[in-house]
Amino acid sequence: MNKENNHDCNCNHDNTSKHEDCHCHDHEDDCCNHEHEHHHETITLTLDNDENIECLVLGVFEANEKEYIALLPEDEDDVLLYRYSSSNDEDVELANIEDDDEFDIVSKTFMHLIEEEDSNEDDE
């Protein structure tokens, strides 16, 4: 794990990732009153115009028996959602979600997960 890999997939991106399960610390950056690095999983998307976009991996989740990934480009507010598959710890493939109905389901599932996570943090 934590190896950089280039992958071609049908989303027209060359994807480079340090792949491992993407679970972050259970606390905020300054909550414990000491300085330490928080590891956030990232993936680099290479667009058709060869522009690289570094994205934080917000999570991998399931909807309608398929896996999806939520990415947040650095310095942006819009989350990117892709179909996600991995054949082993090193090979990751992302694909665009072409169908509007599928995208709506994936978006709603992701928002539900975020709301659930926020609710759990409020309970702590």
For 72, the domain range is 4-123
Cβ within 8 Å of residue 16, ≥6 positions away = 4, 5, 6, 7, 43, 44, 46
| Structure tokens given for 115 | 């709301």
Question: Taking 90 as the threshold, does the pLDDT of residue 35 lie above it?
Answer: no
Please state the domain count of the chain.
1
pLDDT in tens, 74-117: 989 999 999 999 887 677 899 999 999 999 999 999 999 999 88
